Amino acid sequence: MLKLYSFGPGANSMKPLLTLYEKGLDWEQNQLDPRKFEHHSDWYKAINPRGQVPALWDDGEIVTESTVICEYLEDEYPTEVKLRPESSYGKAQMRVWTKWVDEYFCWCVSTIGWHRYVGKMVQHLSDEEFEERVKAIPIPEQQVKWRNARAGFPQDVIDEEMRKIAVSVKRLDDHLRDNEWLVPGQYTLADICNFSIANGMQHGYPELVSKEASPGLMRWIEQINDRPAVKRMFGEVQREIVHENEKR
């Protein structure tokens, strides 16, 4: 039996969720609540010492890192639905796109998300309560990010991340105006991993992501939202709202 430890359907947690639904695998859902900092609790750090979701439990073995989990599911569970190209060159193209999400695209979008929503989750806490929570975070860089999110990121950081978001949107849109999918000819983990970050930007960044501003990207976002597996996933996996600003 597979068990997935994740948050709701957004960002890195969405990658394995979509992969599991597309492949139609049997698995057990273990949804952690970010508002309770469950991913920094001792029981979860016994599963992933880095205190990060998602993590996949497969018969006693634990796989971490969302992109690695997606390829693991392809390696270990070869279903009729293939989310990775057959050709070596196609695999390489897919990995260039998944690597780009992890090294560039996800970070700028994440910082702005933390700035807008996540930081607000901890503003009701006293300094002592907040530092108590920060102490439980095993990755020093994540501690710094939480402190920045609570205090408010400096404006030059916000400006730079917004610049990177515009670069990212243009890169995706340029490609998707001429191609149905990121790897030509096939819906793959490249689409799943990029969509997991890009979906919702039509609401959060309407000046950048819209039918007018980025028609290729918008068409692709809508086309993925129309997939039966994606609809099923959004229907079944509960989304958490970390702050009311995020509601739409």
Residues within the interface to a second copy (CB under 8 A): 58, 61, 63-65, 67-69, 71-72, 75-76, 88-89, 91-92, 95-96, 99, 102-103, 140, 167
Residue 132 in tokens: 């108590």
Question: In a 3-state reduction of DSSP, which class is residue 31?
Answer: strand
Residue 75 Cα distances to 63, 87, 191, 240, angstroms: 13, 15, 18, 30
Tell the smallest beta-carbon distance from residue 220 to a second copy (Å).
Answer: 22
Tell the smallest beta-carbon distance from residue 246 to a second copy (Å).
Answer: 27
Bridge pairing between strands 55-58 and 27-31: unpaired
Tell the smallest beta-carbon distance from residue 89 to a second copy (Å).
Answer: 5
Rounded CA separation 94/193 (Å): 10
Nearer to a second copy, 88 or 126 (CB): 88
Question: In a 3-state reduction of DSSP, which class is residue 5?
Answer: strand
Q: Output DSSP code: residue 93.
A: H
Nearer to a second copy, 38 or 102 (CB): 102
Tell the smallest beta-carbon distance from residue 107 to a second copy (Å).
Answer: 10
Nearer to a second copy, 144 or 151 (CB): 144
Task: Order across the sheet with 2-6: list the strands.
Answer: 27-31, 2-6, 55-58, 61-64
Nearer to a second copy, 167 or 241 (CB): 167
